[in-house]
Every structure is written in structure tokens, then in C-alpha cells.
Structure 1
Amino acid sequence: MKLELKKYVLELKHTFTISRESHDTQDTLIACLSLEGHTGYGESTSNPYYRITFESMQAEIEGIRKEIESFDFKDPEGFYEFLKSHNLSNFSICALDLAAHDLYGKLKAKPLYELWGTDNSQYPVTNFTIGLDSVDKMIEKMEEQPWPIYKIKLGTDNDLEIVKKLRAHTDANFRVDANCAWAALQAIQNCKELKELGVEFIEQPLHAEDWSGMAKLKKEAVLPLIADESCIVEEDVERCAGYFDGINIKLTKCGGLTPALRMIKKAKELDLKVMVGCMTESTVGISAIAQLLPQLDYVDMDGALLLKNDIAEGVEIQENAKVIFPEENGSGVKLMK
């Protein structure tokens, strides 16, 4: 099996701001695994919050290049266990795991959702994310990208006022992501007012480790609560069940499709809603997420829509939010450059 690593700097259409950071570009690592005339592609983006850079991922993967290229590849699950045994970060494992799944589907001549026994004729609509900015700029972004569901990034001193002003400009469904910025009592009050403003749910209102605050909030919140930073890996799903109504799985954070599939299964057993989110990936990462669509309640896979220029072809999200699955097998990815 041949391994190739590529670095891309993805340029965003607009500065993307959340409660703790802003950026205009996104470094991303594309892993390419080739076998028997087929190539699978996987992606992981850099992330300052988790101290992940392209260089740190590259160094980890290059450190076991010989082992990867000599690995007797049979299926993605066996390859994932092999990667875990080498103590790579989940971000590095994700890029390789996604590539392995894409490769496997291409070798089997089937898209992944079909290999998993799911039907892609029904799927949740992705939201479109509006990052923090001046209210005028946030409204401008909505007007530029009319969409049925917006995820609004919050975490300021005037969050409610922002949502009120945005609501005046659209009847679209709203979801709110506070990115750990609120305190429990603040979140309880915000939920009441945000419900009146047509907000569907709140994502990660409190700090990831504020479990006592979450216990209080869960008792009094009038809106569903979705875990993000509090639910990173498989082991977190069961703990979140007592504090949240659902989880947002990020492939980069959990280590790829292999653990994500197990997290989805566990969440459903615990009667949790399941969402999969993105980390401003290109179409490489978004196409992998799309394979999970039939299994999800919610999805946030707008990463490629936020880019000035994409680097790949694969799953396409049209202006009406309809998803077009490619004829290519696996995740359906082809690099354009």
C-alpha cells in the first residue's frame, strides 16, 4: 500500500470567528492510500484548540510510514486498530481512516453507505454556519447564502440581541452554538428567550468539563442540548447521556469513520440524538461525513461551502441544500489538484 501526504491551505470566503478564535485560512492534511490501482483519500484539518498542526500530523504519520506501507490491508477496521496501536493523535488517525474507508469502497466497487447497509434516499439537511461577526456582516452572509437552516455561532455579551436581529431577516430554522462560552444560569435564561426566537437546539453551551453546570442546565433548559467539546471520543458518549439530549460527532476528533460508526450506535442505544459536524474540511472530509447521512438526526457538513476554492470533487451540496452523491465509489472523492 502506497502512502502520500499532501498539505493544502484552504482559503475561506469570509473570516470565520467563534467565541475563542478567528481565521481566514485553514491548513489541512490530505492522506492518500493507494492499492491495486485505486486511491483512497482522507482529511484532517489543523486545530489550535487541540494543538494540532499539519506539521504535527505529518511527523506522526511519517514516523510509521514503513509500517503503513507494509500493512496487509483487508478492511478499514483492522487498519484502524493497527493505527491505534501506534499511539497517533486522533486527527492523524482520522485522515488515514477516512482514506482507508474510501479505498475499501473503491476496491469493493460500492459507496460506503451501501456497504453499511443504509439507504441514502432520505437524509437530514445540513445547516449553514454563520460565524461571529458584526450583525450587519452576519446578515450579509445569510443574504449571500440563503439556506433553510443556519447554525449561529455565539459567545458574546449581546448574544440574544444578535439572534433577534438575525431573526428579523429570515424565517429559516436556527441552531445556536455557544462553543463553551456561557455559564449555567446564563444558559438557562438564554434558552428561554432563544426558544421564542425559533431556535431548534443549543450546542455546547458550557465549558466542556462543567458537568455540575450541565446537570443544573439539563434540569431547567427548555431547548435540547447537544454536546460537542464534551463528546470527543467513544468513551464520552455514555457520560454525555445524563447531561445532554444529543451528541455532535467530529470525525477529526474521534479518529475517523470507524469510531464514529460505533459512537452512532452507542448514542442510539442511549436514546441520544446524533449529529455529525465538520471542521471546515474540503470536499474530501465532507464526502466522508455524507456517507453517514442516513444514520443521522442532524448534520453540519457545510465546510466546503465556506471555501473560496475547493480541492476535490465528491459529494456536492446544491443551493437548495440537496445532496448529490457521486458515481465514484467509497466516499466518492477525486482530488482536483
Structure 2
Amino acid sequence: MKLTLHAHQLELAHTFGISRERYDRQPTLIACLESGGKKGYGEATSNPYYGVTVEGLIKEIEKARSAVEAFPNTDPEAFYELLENLELTPFARCALDLACNDLHGKLLGKPLYAIWGTAARDLPVTNFTIGLDTPEKMVAKMQERPWPVYKIKLGTDRDVALVRELRQHTDAVFRVDANCAWTAGETLDNARALKELGVEFIEQPLPADDWEGMEQVAHGSVLPIIADESCIVESDVDRCGLHFNGINIKLTKCGGLTPARRMIRRGRELGLKIMVGCMTESTVGISAIAQLLPQLDYVDMDGALLLRSDIARGVVITDDAEVILPETGGSGVVLTADL
């Protein structure tokens, strides 16, 4: 396989805010693996919370270039074993794993969901994320993009009042994400108020390592609690099974589609609800997430919808929130930007 890497700056349509940061652009790395006249694409974004930069990812992957290009086939499971043996970090593994899966499916002429034996029907609707901002700006973002399900970013001392204000402007389902900003007591109190405001579930209310607090919340919350920062890699799923009602799997954090599918299987065994989320990826990363839709209860794959301009074609999410999966092989990604 031939490996190509390129860094790109994704410009957001609006400043995106969560409890710990705000940003206007998202640096991302696009990986391309080429073989047999086909090109497979993968993506991994930078992330300051996890100390990941695009420059660091490039340096890391370049050290593994010779081993990656010498790999004799495109079998994703076998290729992922190579990536683990090379001791690449999960974000680097993600870019390459997504590219290998896309290439593998394109060479077979089948979309990944079909290769995995799943059918593209009864797919969950992606939420559209409203970043943390002033109430006026958050309302304006909702009005700009009418949607059936919103994820509301929280993490202030006025969170319930904020959701109450947003509720006056839409009947859509709400999900809220505090990004580790609450205490156990706040979570229990907020959950009671938020349930009355039509909130479906709460995502990661406590710091990722506050397992004692999460045990208290797990036994007392009137709303389901979904793990995000507490569920990064495969080994986290079992512990989350004792403290959460569901898990939000991020491909970049866990290492790609290959480990994500294993996490889904284990989560199901533990009776957890399964969600896959995004990290403001372009359509390259979002199209990979879309292949998992038949296996999910919830999905947050609005990353490309938040961009001012995209760099690829693949999965289509219509203005009516309908998902149209590519009929081409793999993830169905075609680059449109000059990389």
C-alpha cells in the first residue's frame, strides 16, 4: 500500500464552545492508503484535552510508514494488529484504520455495513450540537438549523435555566452534555429538572475519573447517563457497565472502526445503550461513523454539518435529518479538496 498524509484546517461555521474550550477551526489529518487502483481515506483530528496535535500525529505515523506500506493485504483486523504492534497512539491508529477499512471495502466493491452483515434500515437520527454560548446565540443556532434532536452543550452555573430558555423555541428532543463540569449532587438535581424539560439523557456530567461520584449518580439519576470521557478505549467498557447506562464511543479516541466494533459488542453484552460520537471531523470521518449506524441506539455525527466548507463527499445528511449512505464500497469517501 502507498501511504499519503495531509494536514488540513477545517473552518467552522460558528465558534464552537464547550465547558472547557472554544474554537473556530479544527485541525485534522487525512490519511490515504492506495492499492489496486483504489484509495481509502481516514481521518483523525487534533484534540488539546488529550494532548493530540496534527504535527505529532504526522511524526508518529511517518515512523511507521515502512511497516504500513509493506503490509501485504487490506484485511482490517490483521492491519489493526500491525498498528497495535507498532505502538501507535489511538488517534494515529484511527486515521490509518479508517483508511484501511475504506480501501478494503472499495476493493471488494461493498459498503462496510454490508461486509459486516448489517442492513441500512431503521437508522438512528443524528443529533445536531448546539455549542455553549449566550442563550441568544444558542437560540439563533437552533433557528438556523431546525432539527428533530439537539445535543446541548452545558457546563455553567445556569444550565437548567439555559435549557428552559431553549425549550421555549422548539419541541425537538434534547440531549445534554456537561463535558465533566458537574458534581454528583448537581447532576442529580439537574436531572430532575431536565427530565421535565424533555431531555432524553445526560452525557458525561462528572470528571472522567470520578468513579465514586458516578456510582452515586448511576443509582440516583432519573435520567440515563452516557459515558464519554470515561469511555476511551476497549478496556473502559467493562467499568462503565457498572457506572453508566450507556457509552459514547469516539473513533479517534478508541483507535478506529476495528476497536469500536469490539466495544459495541461488549457494550451490548453488558446491557448498555450504544452511541457513537464525532470530534468535528469532515465527511471523511463522518462517513466511517455512518457505517456503524445499524448497530447503534444513538449517534452524534454532525461534525461535517458544523463546518463552513467540507473537504469530501460520502454520507449525506439531508435538511430533514435523513441519512443517505453511499452505495460505493468502503465508507464511500471521495475527496473534493485539493490535498
- For the aligned pair, the TM-score class normalised by the smaller chain equals over 0.9
- In structure 2, C-alpha distance between the alignment counterparts of 1:123 and 1:313, rounded to whole Å: 20
Structure-1 residue corresponding to 2:260: 260
TM-score (norm 1): 0.99
Deviation at 1:74, TM superposition (A): 3.9
- In structure 2, C-alpha distance between the alignment counterparts of 1:258 and 1:51, rounded to whole Å: 23
Secondary structure of 1:331 counterpart: coil
- In structure 2, C-alpha distance between the alignment counterparts of 1:106 and 1:181, rounded to whole Å: 42
Deviation at 1:121, TM superposition (A): 1.7
Whether 1:161 aligns to 2:161 is yes
- In structure 1, C-alpha distance between the alignment counterparts of 2:239 and 2:147, rounded to whole Å: 34
Letter in 1 for 2:8: Y
Structure-1 residue corresponding to 2:320: 320
2:74–2:103: 8 Å Cα contact kept in structure 1?
no
Question: Unmatched 5+ residue regions in structure 2?
Answer: none
- Once the two structures are aligned, what percentage of the paired residues are identical? 65
Secondary structure of 1:217 counterpart: helix
- In structure 1, C-alpha distance between the alignment counterparts of 2:113 and 2:218, rounded to whole Å: 34
Q: Deviations over 1:215-265 (max 9, x none)?
A: 111111000000000000000001001100000000000000000000000
Deviation at 1:326, TM superposition (A): 1.6
* Higher mean C-alpha displacement, 73-82 vs 291-300: 73-82
- In structure 2, C-alpha distance between the alignment counterparts of 1:242 and 1:268, rounded to whole Å: 13
Describe how 1:128-147 pairs up with structure 2 within 5 A.
Answer: 128-147=128-147
- In structure 1, C-alpha distance between the alignment counterparts of 2:289 and 2:48, rounded to whole Å: 22
Letter in 1 for 2:174: F
- In structure 2, C-alpha distance between the alignment counterparts of 1:28 and 1:209, rounded to whole Å: 27
Q: Deviations over 1:181-222 (max 9, x none)?
A: 000001100000000000000000000000000011111100
Write out the 4+ residue segments of structure 1 that deviate beyond 4 Å after TM superposition.
none
Structure-2 residue corresponding to 1:304: 304
Structure-1 residue corresponding to 2:9: 9
Describe how 1:143-292 pairs up with structure 2 within 5 A.
Answer: 143-292=143-292
- In structure 2, C-alpha distance between the alignment counterparts of 1:90 and 1:77, rounded to whole Å: 15
- In structure 1, C-alpha distance between the alignment counterparts of 2:73 and 2:237, rounded to whole Å: 29
Whether 1:24 aligns to 2:24 is yes
- In structure 1, C-alpha distance between the alignment counterparts of 2:66 and 2:240, rounded to whole Å: 39
Structure-1 residue corresponding to 2:68: 68
Structure-1 residue corresponding to 2:44: 44
Q: Deviations over 1:143-164 (max 9, x none)?
A: 0000000000000010011000
- In structure 2, C-alpha distance between the alignment counterparts of 1:117 and 1:326, rounded to whole Å: 16
Aligned residues: 337
Letter in 2 for 1:280: T
Structure-2 residue corresponding to 1:77: 77
Secondary structure of 1:123 counterpart: coil
